[in-house]
Amino acid sequence: MKEQIQKLIEDIKADYASWHQRGRSANTEVSQKMVARFNEGIGYTVGKKYIKITKENNGCVWGFVVNTDDDKQFRKGDILKAAAWNAPARNAPRGNILDGNYQIQWTGPLYLRW
């Protein structure tokens, strides 16, 4: 699970770098500092039920990953949007890190598509 969390974090960082470079020169000193600051701010906290992915540089929760096999609604590894600082939105998973089947952005898990 730790490897999949690291892969998710690397995907978040890559999406930020890609977004940040759109329409800008990626080689500017300011751009490089902003990407580095974002990368340093991404982290996670492991809890009993969830792993909380945070963006510390702006005090936001990126999302949650289910960290238990005992959840009746979700599978271990499911990605959930944040409903609050300490609570995920439990309406539907946005992908699964164990399957590698997810679409994310640096801002958070993608919204559900109806």
- The tokens describing 74, both together, are 């979700």
Tokens of 18: 């890609």
Q: Which pLDDT band holds residue 114 (cuts at 50, 70, 90)? A: very low
Cβ–Cβ under 8 Å, residues 5 and 45? no
15-24, 49-58, 79-88: lowest mean pLDDT where?
A: 15-24
Distance of CA 73 to the CA centre of its chain: 20
pLDDT tens-digit series, residues 33-66: 889 999 999 999 999 999 999 998 668 999 999 9
Condensed to tens digits (0 to 9), the pLDDT of residues 22-41 reads 766 666 888 888 899 999 99
Q: What is the DSSP letter of 59?
A: T
**Is the pTM higher than 0.85?**
yes
3-state secondary structure 27-44: CCHHHHHHHHHHHHHEEE
Q: Which of 113, 55, 105 is nearest to 85 (CA)?
A: 55
Residue 76: is its pLDDT beyond 80? Answer: yes
User: Domain ranges in the chain?
Assistant: 2-109
